[in-house]
Amino acid sequence: MSHTGTEQTEVRLVIDGQSITVPIGTTIFDAARTHGIPIPVLCHQQDITPVGVCRMCVVDTHERAYAAACIRKVEPNARKAKPEDPDLVVETNSENVRAARKTLLELMMADHPTPCVRQQQKKDCELEGLAAEYGATTSPYPHRELTRGRDTTSPIILVDHAACILCDRCVRACAELRDNFVIARQGKGYNAGIAFDLGKPMGSSSCVSCGECMYSCPTGALTNTVSVKHEFKTGTPCETADLMALDVFQHVSGNFLDFNKGAVVKRHFKKGEFFFREGEGSSTAFYILEGLVDMYISTQQAHVHTEEQRGTFSSRMRSKLVNRHQHRRQGEDMGRTHVVVDGGLELPCDQPEGQRGPGALFGEMSCMNAHPHSTTARAATDCVVLEMRRNIVDMLRRNKTFRENLDELYLTHTLELHLRKSPVFSSLTREFIQALRSKVRLVRIAPGEIIFKQGDLADAFYLVRRGFVKVTESCAGGDLVLAYLPAGSHFGEPALLGDGKHMATCSALDNVDHVDLVRIAGEDFKEMIRLFPQVHAELQKVHDEHMRENQKRMANISDVPLAEFLHQGLVEAQSLLVLNLDNCTRCDQCVKACADAHDGVTRLVRDGLRVDNFLIATSCRHCRDPLCMVCPVGAIHRQVTLDVTIDDTCIGCGECAQNCPYGNINLHEFEVTLHGEELAALGAGQAHAKKATVRKATSCNLCNELKEPSCVYACPHDAAHRVTGEEFRDMLKK
């Protein structure tokens, strides 16, 4: 039991004779799971709020009634006889508990159409699996005579109400994971079931067919009728059963893998072949089955020295080979020794090379965040890998067990390196880091979540393990982004060294992926700087420098109209279509050119936000932080050129259009001719080619097949320009 001052932070419980210490408030289910003790459950999955409705996870806590492990939190026990006694004693697998579960299973199986669609197709119906384990496949209770029916109105998802056990996993997945709020419970008693919108058939409800409910369903109540077509240029598509046999896919729903058939392919790489090169963008990640992969940074990394330009005749005539006297780029020398890259590797800056072996996932940072690859990956030996789309990686990483394995690996192998790569912490001893290992907490921050606010009291020091942390400071004109801290950075120390209050707000970058942090409690941090004065001195130096820079920055920004610039997200833009209204004769040549370039459908509207004498046309800005990329089928990618494009796997759900804060994505209907395979997927047989209307999201692709965007190229009045947010700010200053 650990205390901070007088406050108790952890509790001790004994589960099936095994003593476990966990933070206060941990559920019995999580405590057991983290220590490898299995507790069966149907209504709970790791990434949604537990509700404890199925009661399958009942455990004996030696209290008045059995408790549902997924919702029963462990609290300090004030009534225990001796301080060394555990706060809670739990039995998860006693005879009585098993009997209770068997009864529950028999009751559920009485209503369940055995085998359900899922059991028939993929043999992974969780209910039937548990029933078989507990010997409850045949129920002594009478079966329901009237079936609750099927809803076949959705072209993608089959709803079999008869197989629904009312666990509400789909309801919570729809609301909590996707923010769609389409599914809810309706009816009472025997007529209770799930409903879409206000009891509409699924096909005519506001469901966007993202499939999340289907992946969450533990039975055959929600199953897929078609698969999303994923096409890889190379590789052998993996069968669902083969994937489910792999350890890494143990906790992934068979429904999900089946729906995304083709989203994982097995590929063979010969020694020396490249997986990807540095700077390229891609929407796939790799999982190594066999072989070794070299990962390295090929870009030369060196500090750039530039001579001060004096502009005199003699200085211009001076040979470029002479030594530089004045050093104008001193601030660019960050003194870093390591850089964090894909696959959780930390590469030394002087020789940025590393290797990954079987069981490693790499390329996931680019895949999840749509950033260009930071390394080149090349097969060191002949390799067999699984290449997978972003939605698969996302599903893998949602799983707590998978993440905890990664966390354990991190604490064991990487934390020390992580600390040492910063010169500030180079004097820490190995013993201290080992002691710190048991004290740090690995925390996961949801996209956009605030870690702490400006003015909050500081209680911890943080290291960025993965993702980006946005540092913003409130000033007169609005919030100013000071920095995006990448993996390997640290923050929170200025307040611990200063007056105890944070000087800026830190949040997870509002992107599509989580941020992983290492949290070192304030007391441990203070202990560290007390024991290692050199660390204290280095941190103090950095802190003082930050304070000086901050004062200068604040003096510089006072005359910039920041509020509008920041609130409208202009600073995020990589390519704003800006029209200088002093030049623009409103001839609409830009719109006509855009329509000509894109099959007659314009992707820009010459209307939008006005800033000074400029119009920001309604056209994709190719944001640095593209919120639109939250696509259920991963159809939006960042190209190698960093442009955001929507490919043909778009299902027209409109999620991207809804997520784009600037209204720059539109949905259009296109006439297409469907051939054999597509028709078969829609259940129309292989017969003939057929014309159909396809709904697809469209956004500006900067005419990437041409040298320059048509809108700019076709403007006769030099009014249209594509600029970045910073360039636009400079234009405004002029």
Partner 1 sequence: MHIDRSHRAWVLWTAALFMLALCGYLLYAFRFQNGPSGGSVPGLIFGGAGYILMLYAAFLSVRKKFSRWRIGRATTWMRGHLWLGLLSYPLIFFHAGLSFGHGLTFALMLILSVVIVTGVAGAALQHYMPRMITERVGRETIYYQIDRVQQDLAHEADSLLVSLFRKDTQYGLLVPAAEKTHANATTLVVLSEYSGDQLRKAYEDNIKPYLSHRGAYRHTLHDARRAKSFFADLRTLVPEPVRPVIDGLESICDEKRDLDRQSRFHRILHFWLLVHVPLAFLLLVLGGIHAVMALRYG
Closest approach of partner 1 to the CB of residue 606, in Å: 6
Distance CA 446, CA 486 (A): 16
Query: 308, 607, 648, 730: which one contacts partner 1 (CB under 8 A)?
Result: 607
- Smallest gap from Cβ 654 to partner 1, in A, equals 23
Among 3, 691, 707, 734, binds partner 1 (CB under 8 A): 707
The Cα 581–Cα 635 span in angstroms is: 35
Q: Which stretch binds partner 1 (CB under 8 A): 263-271, 286-294, 629-637, 709-717?
A: 709-717
Which one of 592, 668, 690, 729 is in contact with partner 1 (CB under 8 A)?
592
Does residue 606 bind partner 1 (CB under 8 A)?
Answer: yes
One residue of 581, 609, 642, 692 binding partner 1 per CB under 8 A? 581
Q: How many residues line the site for partner 1 (CB under 8 A)?
A: 29
Question: Within a 10 A sphere around the Cβ of 472, how many other Cβ atoms?
Answer: 19
Give the binding range for partner 1 (CB under 8 A) out of 18-26, 48-56, 482-490, 600-608. 600-608
Per CB under 8 A, 582 contacts partner 1: yes
Q: Which residues contact 336 (CB under 8 A, 6 or more apart)?
A: 349, 421, 422, 423, 488
CB 605, min distance to partner 1, A = 7
Amino acid at 621: R
One residue of 613, 641, 689, 695 binding partner 1 per CB under 8 A:
613
Write the DSSP symbol of residue 632: T
Q: Considering only CA atoms, which of 234, 151, 249, 247 is closest in space to residue 199?
A: 151
Q: Is 178 in the site for partner 1 (CB under 8 A)?
A: no
Query: What single DSSP character describes residue 689?
Result: -
Is residue 611 involved in binding partner 1 (CB under 8 A)? no
User: Which of these ranges, 124-132, 239-247, 324-332, 585-593, lies near partner 1 under the rule CB under 8 A?
Assistant: 585-593
CB 530 within 8 A of CB 497: no
Q: Which is nearer to partner 1, 225 or 583 (CB)?
A: 583
DSSP string, 525-564: HHHHHHH-HHHHHHHHHHHHHHHHHHHHHHHHHTTS-HHH
596 scored as a contact of partner 1 (CB under 8 A): yes
User: Any contact of residue 734 with partner 1 (CB under 8 A)?
Assistant: no
Give the residue among 512, 267, 517 at the shortest CA–CA distance from 366: 512
Does residue 544 touch partner 1 according to CB under 8 A? no
Q: Considering the rule CB under 8 A, would residue 597 count as an interface residue with partner 1?
A: yes
Stretch that binds partner 1, among 195-203, 273-281, 425-433, 575-583 (CB under 8 A): 575-583
Q: Does 577 bind partner 1 (CB under 8 A)?
A: no
Tokens 């809670």 correspond to 88
User: Segment near partner 1 (CB under 8 A), from 171-179, 254-262, 414-422, 707-715?
Assistant: 707-715
Give the number of other Cβ atoms within 10 Å of residue 189's Cβ. Answer: 5
Q: From the CB of 617, what's the least distance to partner 1, in Å?
A: 11
Q: Judged by CB under 8 A, does residue 714 bind partner 1?
A: yes
Nearer to partner 1 among residue 557 and residue 587 (C-beta): 587
Tell me which of 710, 723, 725, 728 binds partner 1, using CB under 8 A.
710
User: Residue 447 in 3-state DSSP?
Assistant: coil
Out of 273, 669, 677, 718, the only residue in the binding site for partner 1 (CB under 8 A) is 718
Tokens found for residue 319: 């040979």
CA 723 centroid distance within chain: 29
588 binds partner 1 (CB under 8 A): yes
Q: Given the complex with partner 1, which of 408 and 588 has the nearer CB atom?
A: 588
Which of the ranges 185-193, 286-294, 302-310, 703-711 carries the binding residues for partner 1, by CB under 8 A? 703-711
Task: Give residue 722's identity as a one-letter amino acid code.
Answer: R
Query: What are the structure tokens assigned to 708, written together?
Result: 């320059």
- CA 306 → CA 311, 350, 637, 705, distances in Å? 14, 21, 37, 37
Q: Per CB under 8 A, which region of 251-259, 444-452, 547-555, 583-591 contacts partner 1?
A: 583-591
Q: Which of 274-283 are b and which e, b meaning 16 or more Cβ less than 10 Å from the residue's Cβ?
A: ebbebeebbb
Residue 573 engages partner 1 in binding (rule: CB under 8 A)? no
Give, in order, the Cα–Cα distances in Å from 198 to each of 123, 182, 193, 451, 631.
32, 9, 12, 37, 26
463 or 579: CB nearest partner 1: 579
- Residue 533 corresponds to which tokens in the numbers above? 């004065």
Please pick, from the candidates 138, 716, 726, 730, the single residue that binds partner 1 as defined by CB under 8 A: 716
Of 97 and 615, the one with the shorter C-beta distance to partner 1 is 615
For the beta carbon of residue 732, count every other beta carbon within 10 angstroms.
Answer: 17
Q: Does 721 contact partner 1 by CB under 8 A? A: no
**Cα–Cα dist 659/718, whole Å:** 32
Q: Work out which of 58, 656, 715, 723 binds partner 1, going by CB under 8 A.
A: 715
Question: Of 6, 7, 37, 10, which Cα lies nearest the Cα of 23?
Answer: 10
How many DSSP H helices and E strands does the chain contain?
A: 23, 39
Give the number of other CB atoms < 10 A from CB of residue 205: 18
Q: Closer to partner 1 at the Cβ: 487 or 719?
A: 719
Q: Per rule CB under 8 A, is residue 585 in the interface with partner 1? A: yes
Angle at 297 between CA 292 and CA 299, to 5 degrees: 150
Print the binding letters for residues 52-91 with partner 1: x by CB under 8 A, - otherwise. Answer: ----------------------------------------
Q: For partner 1, which is the closer residue by CB, 669 or 708?
A: 708
Contact between 602 and partner 1 per CB under 8 A: no
**Residue 732 binds partner 1 (CB under 8 A):** no
- Write each residue from 354 to 393 as x if it is in contact with partner 1 (CB under 8 A), else as -, in one continuous string: ----------------------------------------
Q: Is 593 in the site for partner 1 (CB under 8 A)?
A: yes
Q: How far apart are CA 447 and CA 469, in angstroms?
A: 10
Residue closer to partner 1, measured from CB, 316 or 707: 707
Task: Using alpha carbons, select from 436, 461, 464 the residue that is nearest to residue 521.
Answer: 461
Closest by CA to 458, choosing from 529, 535, 515, 523, is 523
- Closest to 368 (Cα-Cα) out of 638, 174, 574: 638
Judged by CB under 8 A, the stretch of 126-134, 289-297, 555-563, 606-614 that binds partner 1 is: 606-614
Q: What single-letter DSSP state applies at residue 308?
A: P
608: left (phi over 0), alpha (psi -120 to 50) or beta: left
What gap in Å lies between CA 69 and CA 75, rounded to an integer? 13
Residue ranges in contact with partner 1 by CB under 8 A: 580-589, 592-593, 596-597, 605-607, 613, 706-708, 710, 713-719
